[in-house]
Amino acid sequence: MVDLTHLTKSTLHAVDSPIHKELPRTYLGMSGLGASCSRYLWYTFRWCYVSETSSRMKRLFGRGHREEPEIVKELEKVGLEFWGDQTEMIGFAGHAKGHCDGMCKGVLEAPKTVHLAEFKTMNDKSFKQTKKEGVKLSKPTYYAQMQRYMHGLKLTRALFVAVNKNDDSWYIERVEYDATFAEALLGKEADIILAEIPPTKPFHPSYYECKFCSARGICHGGEEIHKTCRTCVHIDIKNEGKWGCLYHKKDLTTEEQRHGCDDYESGVPSNV
């Protein structure tokens, strides 16, 4: 038999080895507002770092999106009706955005109530924790995401569906809209967008979340801030999701923001 081990190894290496470098999205994502660290959200919104993602992780992140149509098909079999996949919500000054998995009606516990639909895939450990504790306690970021989306869509209930990637079992929970919680998220959203310097560090570098944070290097490690218009002292944040340059007195396109110019001066203090 021909030994194909060398081919398998090289093929796998070719598939998995590329590292994808990219700036964060152009807006503050509503899906991340529940993160415990506002400083991280500010760094992300201001493009202070370049994220590095392996091909394997990109596949993993995409798995949930690929499974969404199958989840919808299963729920349609028991009478649920879905619409509005990727409906966009615009937040503070046009600089915050969210895109929901959809809306639905026909949920057996409340057939006439329109629900926000939110789907997640999880490993076995995460799934069991969510099933035991509920989404609010076990997955506060997901809970906050649903609250912000329900607020934006003026809905009072969400249908949360978690799928166990190990054995394909499901957990379904109906989440009630909490106006007080949602209003607090709106305030957090505005504070991050309007802040001219990063919020105070909430955690010690040894904190477990910091160890996996994409902004760890600049927050705790003294790495240089990535140079773009958004980290420049001349940047001007404007309404309708626009950015301007005070030095050149003009509005900036996304591409101009990414590349900056020779008149760049850092506007992000390194000692805070």
Looking at residue 4, what is its pLDDT? 56
Kindly report the pTM of this predicted structure.
Answer: 0.90
15 pLDDT higher than 90: no
CA distance 229 to 8: 44
60 pLDDT higher than 90: no
CA distance 126 to 124: 6
85 pLDDT higher than 70: yes
CA distance 215 to 40: 6
24 pLDDT higher than 70: yes
CA distance 176 to 209: 28
Assign 80 to helix, strand or coil: coil
Tell me the average pLDDT across 158-182.
97
Looking at residue 1, what is its pLDDT? 56
Output the average pLDDT for the chain: 92
Task: Kindly state the helix (H) or strand (E) to which residue 73 belongs, with its residue range.
Answer: helix 55-76
Looking at residue 45, what is its pLDDT? 97
**Two tokens, residue 200:** 């105070």
CA distance 90 to 30: 9
**Two tokens, residue 133:** 């504790």
CB-CB contact of 270 with 222 (8 Å):
yes
Higher pLDDT, 172 or 54: 172
CA distance 102 to 87: 7
8 pLDDT higher than 80: no
CA distance 183 to 186: 5
